[in-house]
Structure 1
């Protein structure tokens, strides 16, 4: 019974996403059929639908409208870079690297910069999985092919965003997606005045991560163009996937293992399967949809499953458009391995960001959100709207904390190995990791009592829940201050 409940709970959000992919695929095929735009328009629509489905969760009407106004412009710019990949590859490589580097550097400018940076990255992914030149060379309907492709790439972006918005709203209404206030997607440090940072002369994390991404992509393009032309895209795609969402060098190394392992397995399976389908076989479409549904569900267990499924989808997509040569399998695996090692090496040795520092910031944001919530709960008279808002801010901080938690759980499993834990240095490392995991679990344990307090209507209600939250918050503060802790 518990297993069935787990399956149903985690399958709910996957169904709207599967529907988005299906209708985006159909929309892209319709655009290709009526306007003869080529298969790249189908891939662009599908990739945007997949990516927007995850980045647009819990967005309010304002951020969604900003996305609607910005995404078509970014898609047009990426289409132009796609044309340059064919005509001026060196220029295109440079612009691609600069664009993704800029998308990370923009995070320093708060929520608007974060949203803009996320949107900038989405169309770039499509450029790496399109198996044909982005633009035709003929002139049609009195308009240059460049202008037509730019126009229809903007249309594809609007279509994908519209489907995502529609199915997410429907999913919330029927209960498949939990309805969380839009402010929950904003962390404590961006939703309101956060405690001041110690800036000094230190390089900000966004600058460090942007530098790492730029250097990794630049090296990936050099290696790919030199050693793997014309099938150079897999090494660049691997570097981007491993480095994206960088939350410290430990996070990059841990997720690299998951992503590379999953991508290798997914590539092997999909390349073999793609060879069994004829180009533009409708069965391949059903296989793509099934893989996405399964991958979205298994993502709750391990990111390795999601990496494998996404890589399988990309291979199946390329097979759908005719690139099914089994001889590419070894080359793809080699590029994935080299790209993973390259991304980890750069993140580890070039302006590294310590995972413990990232975790300390996430814990501080969660503590600040807890303090703001308890202050609103004790206020007289109590404002229910303010209480819900600050509860949503805590949920956002908790979501950010959950993003870095798998790294420390993985380190705990690693430190438990006999060959590591038996040494004196290994024992000290294990103690520090256990302290970090205990702090994460203390913040996580605050969620149920805070949910009860947010729904409490009487002024004297929730005393026991409030004491529970205070106890967990004290444990987190102790971990942050303990001299033997890596978080101190």
Structure 2
């Protein structure tokens, strides 16, 4: 069986490190500003989560996409602030609203690209409210409790945009091609941009729920079970169960992606829980050392997040464990923490893999739709924008795969990589054989048995 070239794997890791370095720079600036104004854990952690998330989701966005994020973030921030108040004061009402919000954020993906952007942006505040229920500025009165999170959202967006803009402006077409096509089909990524697992504009088969609806059912059942099990089994420490469940059930697309995310989540969190014991044992009362360890762990997680999600889970777990000590937790509950994370991951995986499951091959086929469409447009018009769009969507198709993914999906993504690169390098309007082969591949998207051979012919024609 053909395997992705090692050079592509190495290039993908280089891209991940470059993007991680930009995210780390943006986050460091945001944290520095917040520390100078309000050096409290809640605003700092909110700034970290927003800056790191925006650094990933906004890297490929055009001006319209970035403005959408700027408008949506404050609105979502206000909604999640109210949700945090409910979780704190009327827990079960807050839990019910939280589940409804997750389901709604999933269902909105059916409304095309704008829906998928809203869903992706909503993930950060919905996760942040679980470990920051009081919110930034809550200790400074009701006015700052509303204003400060909104200001932090605008600050994070502004800094991320300023840090990324020179890279985008300086990048030539060739550089953008390298950045876009370097991702390896053998590594599962995160949730920066989450295309829906259904073909845009396609009608689902009769008597079969759409992929978006199935994902909404999965996340609704998983989140409900996580709240019930978390409270019944772990009392006031329920948040770790729900957080792990949402990461596995809401962020990934398809079973393989969920399994990969769950394994990375548990391994990274286990390592982070153990490493957090070191500063707590060496200098349990020395707050400057603990703060330095928090920032270092988060920095490592941001830098290497796109190389492996396990590193991000490691950094966040170290930070949250040490924050609990700063917040007055007498002893780190490492054993309970690992059990809670394991239970949350298990709930998320059961929901994704058992309740109306979505096959990985279906996800990859759906993500190949915009790849082939954009490549075909590039061939006819030789448009730089269309070519960049094709390789961007191709990386989305590649992200879903793990090392032991279904062999046919691995080959599909590998051939798509060759086709997208050839469309960028080749002369306009492209070889006739390639255009015909692309047409055959697009027609074969609805027939998995014929798709592999059609893509192979298109790759040869490239």
Q: TM-score, normalised by structure 2?
A: 0.80
Show the counterpart of 2:65: 63
Q: In the alignment, does 2:81 pair up with 1:79? A: yes
The alignment status of 1:359 with 2:364, answered yes or no, reads yes
Q: Is the 8 A contact 2:268 2:311 kept in 1?
A: yes
In the aligned structure 1, how far is the partner of 2:194 from the partner of 2:261? 22
Counterpart position of 1:344: 349
> Residues of 2 paired with 1:5 and 1:400: CA distance?
16
Structure 1 residues 482 and 110, CA, compared in 2 at 3 Å: closer, same or farther? closer
**Residues 289, 134 of structure 1: CA spacing in aligned structure 2 closer, same or farther, 3 A cutoff?**
closer
Q: Which runs of 5+ in 2 are unaligned?
A: 1-6, 182-191, 456-462
* Separation (CA, whole Å) in 2 of partners of 1:73 and 1:248: 29
Alpha carbons of 1:45 and 1:172: their partners in 2 closer, same or farther (altered >3 Å)? same
1:214 alignment counterpart: 220
Against the structure 1 CA distance between its residues 282 and 469, is the aligned structure 2 distance closer, same or farther, given a 3 Å change threshold? farther
Structure 2 equivalent of residue 426 of structure 1: none
Asked whether the 8 Å contact 1:18–1:292 carries over to 2, the reply is: no
Secondary structure, aligned partner of 2:50: helix
Tell me whether 1:394 sits opposite 2:406 in the alignment: no
Q: Structure 2 CA distance, aligned partners of 1:150 and 1:478?
A: 52
Mapped partners of 1:264, 1:136: distance in 2: 31
**Residue 330 of structure 1: CA displacement?**
0.5
- Residue of structure 2 in register with 1:482 after alignment: 449
Structure 1 position 211, deviation (Å): 1.6
What are the residue-to-residue correspondences of 1:465-476 with 2, within 5 Å?
none
Secondary structure at the aligned position of 2:232 is classed as helix
Match of 2:54 among 52, 65, 72: 52
Q: For structure 1, which runs of at least 5 residues remain unmatched after alignment?
A: 378-386, 412-432
Cα deviation, residue 297, structure 1: 4.9
Is 1:249 matched up with 2:243?
no
1:166 counterpart = 2:162: yes
Aligned residues: 434
* Residue 306 (structure 2) pairs with residue 295 (structure 1): no
Distance in structure 1 (CA, Å) of the matches to 2:338 and 2:385? 47
Query: Is the 2:13–2:307 Cα contact (8 Å) retained in structure 1?
Result: no
> Which residue in 1 is equivalent to 2:185?
none
Tell me which of the two structures has the higher relative contact order, counting C-alpha pairs closer than 8 angstroms and 6 or more residues apart: 2
Say which SS state the counterpart of residue 410 (structure 1) adopts.
Answer: coil
Summarize the Cα distance change of 1:195–1:367 in structure 2 as closer, same or farther, 3 Å threshold. farther
Deviations 1:14-66 (A, max 9, x none): 22211222222223333425xxxx53222222211121111111212222122
Residues 187-235 of structure 1, C-alpha deviation per residue, up to 9 Å, x if partnerless? 9999xx9674445342121111112112111111111112212222111
Farther-moved stretch of structure 1 (48-57 vs 5-14): 5-14
Q: Which has more radius of gyration? A: 1
Contact 2:106–2:215, Cα closer than 8 Å, also in 1: yes
Match of 1:410 in 2: 404
- 1:104-162 CA-partner distances (Å, limit 9, x unpaired): 111011122122222222112222223x7448888x7xxxx334301221111111111
Say if 1:374 and 1:368 are closer, same or farther in 2 by CA, change over 3 A.
same
Of the three residues 16, 22, 35, the one matched with 2:22 is: 16
Q: What secondary structure does 1:246 align onto? A: coil
CA contact (8 A) 1:75 1:153 kept: yes
* 1:19-30 correspondence runs (5 A): 19-30=25-36
CA contact (8 A) 1:254 1:410 kept: no
* Structure 2: distance between partners of 1:129 and 1:361: 34
For the residues of structure 1 that align with 2:443 and 2:112, how far apart are their CA atoms? 26
Per-residue displacement from partner, 1:427-449 (whole Å, max 9, x unpaired)?
A: xxxxxx33332222111122332
Query: Match for residue 126 of structure 2?
Result: 124
Deviation larger for 105-114 or 62-71:
62-71
- 1:174 offset after TM fit, Å? 6.5
CA–CA distance in 2 between the matches of 1:254 and 1:487? 29
Answer yes or no: is the 8 Å Cα contact 2:248–2:348 preserved in 1. yes
Structure 1, 290-299 or 108-117: larger mean CA deviation:
290-299
Q: Describe the SS at the equivalent of 1:446.
A: helix
Q: 1:151 aligns with which of 147, 150, 163?
A: 147
Q: 1:394 to 1:135 in 2, by over 3 A?
A: closer
Query: Are the equivalent residues in 2 in contact too, given 1:24–1:159 (CA < 8 A)?
Result: yes
2:411 aligned with 1:438, yes or no?
Answer: yes
Is the counterpart of residue 204 in structure 1 residue 171 in structure 2?
Answer: no
Q: 1:196 to 1:233 in 2, by over 3 A?
A: closer
